[in-house]
Amino acid sequence: MEVSALSEPEQVVLLSLVGLLARADGRLSQTEMSTLEQLRRAIEPERFQRVRAAAGDLEDGAAIMSAAEGIRPEARELIFSVLYEMAIPDTIAPAEVELLEKLAALWGLQSPLSA
């Protein structure tokens, strides 16, 4: 599955989670900026504008995690992999680990961070 195959609400959750993860350690890394750019290119431009606006409306982590509850299982794996791949090139901050662990637990996924 590709990012372009996600539904618009799933793309909103993805973009929201990318933003939440990027803010978790208080700085925006080159890898995080690259991930955002890849997502921008993967989603049709007009749709990306709608998705970005809707993602901005999810004001905090609780709202984002609540929205994440309704994501299809196949989309969950793709979204988690995007987030994990975004986090691993840098030193993973404790706040990033916490977010990824919460998301894995919410979605019933095996977290590669809990070895």
pLDDT digits (tens, 9 = 90+) for 29-80: 888 889 989 999 999 999 999 999 999 898 788 889 889 999 999 999 999 9
Q: Has residue 98 been placed in a domain? A: yes
CB atoms within 10 A of CB 31: 15
Strand, coil or helix: what is 51? Answer: helix
- Domain containing 85 equals 3-107
Taking all residues of the chain, what is their mean pLDDT, rounded to a whole number?
A: 89
CATH of the domain at 32: 1.10.3680.10
Widest distance between CA atoms in the chain = 41
Structure confidence at residue 102 (pLDDT): 92
In a domain, 113, yes or no: no
Domain membership of residue 67 (yes or no) is yes
User: What mean pLDDT do residues 82-86 have?
Assistant: 91
Q: Would residue 62 count as lying in a domain?
A: yes
- Our count of domains for the chain comes to 1
115 inside domain: no
- Residue pair 105/76 in contact (Cβ under 8 Å)? The answer is no
Is residue 92 domain-resident? Answer: yes
Residue type, 78: L
Would you say the pTM of this structure is higher than 0.85? yes
